[in-house]
Amino acid sequence: MSRQMLRYLNPVFPHDFPDPFVLKYCGEYWAYCSGLRSDGGAFGILRSRDLVNWQEVGSAMPPLPGGYSCYWAPEAIVENGIVYLYYSVGDEATMQIRVAVAESPAGPFVDSGHRLTQEPFAIDAHVFTAPDGRRYLFYATDYLEHERIGTGTAVDEMIDLFTLAGRPRPVSRARYDWQIYDPQRAEKGGVRWHTIEGPFVLTRKGLFYQMCSGGNWQNPSYGVGYATTATLDGPDEWQQACDGESVMPVLRTIPGEVIGPGHNSVVRGPDNRQLYCVYHRWGGEGGRQLAIDPLDWAGPRLFVAGPSFTPQAGPLLPALTDWFDGPELDEGWRATGGTWRVAGNAVHVEPDAGQTAALTSEIGPLPFLLQVSARAQNDADGRYGLSLRAGEMELLRVELSPGRASGALVWPDGATAPLDLPAGFRFPVFHLLSVEVDGPQVGVSVDERPLLHRRLAGAPTAVALCATGLTASFAGFALTVGWEDNFDRRDGPVGGEWVGGGGNGWAIQNRQLVFDGPDEGWLRRGPALDNYELVINARLLDAGGSYGIAPVLAADGSGPLLTVGAADGRWLAHWRDGDASQGLPLPSGFDALKDNQFRLRKEDGRLTIHWEEHLIGTVAVAVAAGQIGLVASRAAFDMARLTAMTHSP
């Protein structure tokens, strides 16, 4: 087996592609951009399977009647098999937000006839679905009575996919000088004009984050900042995190290297764990070009490891991927109980009469995240979905039943738990099934609705795509080996797959893993992997504390250790492996009392260590597989994530 690691260099699409939005559908990426294109249509479309290599598809839709000159900022969502494209159109002085529909991300899209906004100027639509299922439209509009005149962002709840409630309220209006677009904007009467635009909303640990671009791309202060709130329905504006002085935007111009990074969207990478910020940057005659960089959090702080302009380690790939683009099934699948055929980037099955057809792949007893899109060919009285198995025993079946208009989790004893499917759920279109297994815990969701958690009777060693009594199709199979723990369970003991010692000082407190005992505590967990990426968020509870990350623990608990603590009045990172030790440089501004992220990649006996986007060391480590460990004295951990790095034959 030879290793094939993905790498990238921004821009990943070195041609004009302004205001990029990326949709992930059936495992593939579809990017949309502003403007009329060379084929005469509006909104360019690109397609990719890895976020790095892109192919042009064409344009999304024909221009509307009326001779509009501006087609800006398209964003797409998929609901029940229909793709909805939200966009702004007008003559630049006046703009409105509309929505078009299509049956495929490739289009062609047809305008629905619905205008959503009533303001004279409304651009940059972003649809956000809250954890409770409600939808909100975020967009940018002008605030002419605000003390800092200019464009800011607003939000309105959506009654349906074509209609707003009609009660917009401000989210972010200009507060800082870095958001100045023009100190004397002539077309606005010479006023000091500010701009905040391009909203994109995320949520983590009870907070909502709105990313948005501010200022003028021609100014060094231009970039992407963010604001937060604990509620979507409050009357107050969100709290802006970036003042442009003490806290800089998370993306900003780097003179001589990167000009005008902005108007971003966010999408999950191929491993379905790591988020990526997708944005444009100015490339001279090449216009605004497509770029990507990892996005993450350290505690409540959102950050982007960019804008990068040198070769970067690429997105991690799943351990198992199948696009079913044939002409035959890949090795590793075992087909039983029906006729399986590959066509059109999907695998289709017709079960034998009275039999359950299954397409099975062995995975070994490892933690994993599995995603696959599935659909029935019709509304026949049967069922389809996926199954987790240990040998001949079925541990869990996730099944959708068109004839009953329902979904369920089915256990070995026949007991069932209903899946939350919305009214009008269309079974003959692709829906995303997600299954996450970590030890005895399994989480299942459909179309990224909140996970339904249960316990398994054993560790799965195989997964199967299956159908009974109807023809079904599956697309975009991806299985990532590894786990992620955000420590967002309710306060109490650590539990789960963590084992360790050092007293009883370990606990989950305020959505963090905390050790505040008088001595030193340690925890460890598996699985033992040869090559992987380990990401740890940590902070000290006080200046006398310390924490450590053990990336390769042997069975007896020995192994190298990266530690962070204070010495001689400054923060130090230290690497120790047996009798050998060395200090690792921490960038200026590092503060161990705040949440920080360390990213360690172990690959064939070498370990690269990053503090966020900064490389701080490369060291040799044991080639053999090992578990990982955490060590603490008065410290807290906000997140831990382990992802196996894939091999390709």
The 10s digit of each residue's pLDDT in 558-595 is 899 999 999 888 999 999 998 889 999 999 889 999 99
- The predicted pLDDT at position 647 comes to 52
- The single-letter DSSP state of residue 460 is -
- The predicted pLDDT at position 649 comes to 33
| Phi/psi of residue 285, nearest 5 degrees | -65, -15
Please state the rounded mean pLDDT for residues 363-368: 92
- In 215-282, where do the E strands start and end? 223-229, 239-240, 251-252, 259-268, 275-282
- In 447-503, where do the E strands start and end? 452-455, 462-468, 472-485, 499-501
Both tokens of 82, joined, read 């229909």
Question: How many other CB atoms sit within 10 Å of the CB of residue 107?
Answer: 24
- The predicted pLDDT at position 214 comes to 97
CA–CA dist 175, 378 (Å, integer): 54
pLDDT confidence bin for 280, thresholds 50/70/90: very high
- The predicted pLDDT at position 414 comes to 85
546, amino acid identity? S
> What does the pLDDT look like over 598-607, one tens digit per residue?
999 999 899 9
- The predicted pLDDT at position 4 comes to 54
How high does pLDDT run on average in the chain?
A: 94
CA–CA dist 605, 538 (Å, integer): 25
Please report, rounded to a whole number, the percentage of residues in the chain having pLDDT higher than 70. Answer: 98
- The predicted pLDDT at position 502 comes to 58
CA–CA dist 343, 610 (Å, integer): 43
